[in-house]
Structure 1
Amino acid sequence: MMVVTAIAAVRMKNLFAAVMLTGLYSLLTALWFIILDAVDVSFTEAAVGAGFSTVLMLGTLSLTCSKEKQLNHPPLLPLFVVLITGALLVYGTLDMPAFADPEAPIHTHVAPHYIEKSREEIDV
C-alpha cells in the first residue's frame, strides 16, 4: 500500500491531492513503525511527517497554483544537479569503515575501557 501511495503521489498532477497523499504516506510509515515496535519513532513520524510537514506543504500550496505546469523541455539542469550531488555523497562514503567492523575507530575509542573496567566500576 505504501508503494501504491508513493507512486500515486509522484504521478498526481493536482498538487493538493499530491500533498494529501504524502500525508497518507507518512501515516502509513508511522503504522509500519508501530508494527516494528518502534513506537517512539512512529510518534515522531506521525507528528512531524504527517502533521507538521503536511501543514507546511498546504501553506506553500496556498501561495501557488493548484495544478502542475507542463514543461516544454526536459529539466536537464535539476537532473544534472541531482546526479552530481548523488555522486558526491557516494564518494563521501568510500572512506567509511566496513559495516560492523570491530576495528573501526568508533569501536576502538572507548570500548576497551568499558570491557576492561566495567566489572570493578559497577561492582559486579
Structure 2
Amino acid sequence: METLIINVLMLLMAITVMVIARSRNLFGVVVLSGLYSFLMATVLVAMDAVDVAMTEASVGAGISTVLLVGALALCKSEETKPLDMPWRALLVSGSVGAMLVYGSFGLPEFSDPQAPIHQHVVPRYLNDIQQEVDVPNVVTAVLASYRGYDTLGETTVVFTAGAGVIALLRRRRPKAAQGGPA
C-alpha cells in the first residue's frame, strides 16, 4: 500500500511538471511549483523522512513560493512564446532523464533490509549510539554527532540564503529622506 501511495504521488508530480512546462502564465507556474514542492514533501513523509519533508515544505512550498510571487510583481504575467522549439535542450534533457532512470534500476528496493547500507553503518549506529553519544533518540544522535558537520553545513547554507534574501529585498530610504546630503 505504501508503494502505491508513493507511486500515485510521483505520478501527480510528473503531471504537475508537464503542466508547468506547457504553461505560459507565470503566476500559474509559481502556484504549480508550490504544489510540486508540497507533493514532494508528502512523498518524503510517506518514505519516513519527516525531517527532510519539513525542510522541503518550508523552503520549497513556503519561502520559494512567496519569493517567486514577489518577483512576479517585477515582470510580466505571461511568458513570451519561443521563436522555435529547443530540440537540442529537449534531447539532452531526455537523455539525462533516461540515464537516471537506467541508473536507478541498480539501486536496492526501498526499505530492503539486505541493502548494503543496512549491513554496514546502520548496525554500528544502533549498537554503539548509547555508549558514544548518550542521546535517547537515534535520529537526533546521528544528526548531532555522526553527521554533525553535515548538519552544520546545511544550517549554514539555509542561514546564508536567508541573509541573502533579506539583503536583496530590504528597502533603503533615499539619502535625502535620511536628512543627509543628496
What TM-score does the superposition give when structure 2 sets the normalisation length?
0.41
- 2:41–2:54 Cα contact (<8 Å) kept: no
- CA separation of 1:96 and 1:8: change in aligned 2, threshold 3 A: closer
> Partners in 2 of 1:52 and 1:43 — Cα distance?
12
* Corresponding position of 1:15: 26
* Aligned equivalent of 1:69: 80
**Contact between 1:30 and 1:43, CA under 8 Å: does it hold in 2?**
no
Q: Percent identity?
A: 42
Instruction: Pick closer, same or farther for the CA change 1:54–1:105 going to 2, 3 Å.
Output: same
Q: Which residue of 2 aligns with 1:57?
A: 68
**Other-structure match for 1:92:** 103
SS class of match (2:107)? coil
Q: Per-residue displacement from partner, 1:79-123 (whole Å, max 9, x unpaired)?
A: 112112113323433443455262x432332567789x79xx9xx
Q: TM-score, normalised by structure 1?
A: 0.54
5+ residue gaps, structure 2, are 1-8, 132-182
Could you say what the CA RMSD is over the residues aligned between the two structures, in angstroms?
4.3
Q: Residue 83 of structure 2: SS of its match in structure 1?
A: coil
Q: Post-superposition shift, 1:54?
A: 0.8
CA 85–49 in structure 1, closer or farther in 2 if over 3 Å, else same? same
CA distance in structure 1 between the partners assigned to 2:56 and 2:122 by the alignment? 32
Greater RCO structure (CA 8 Å; 6+ sep): 1
Determine if the alignment matches structure 1 residue 79 to structure 2 residue 100. no
72 and 17 in structure 1: CA distance in 2 versus 1, 3 angstrom threshold: same
Segments of structure 1 that go 5 or more residues without pairing to the other structure are none
Runs of 4+ in 1 over 6 A off after TM superposition: 35-39, 111-115
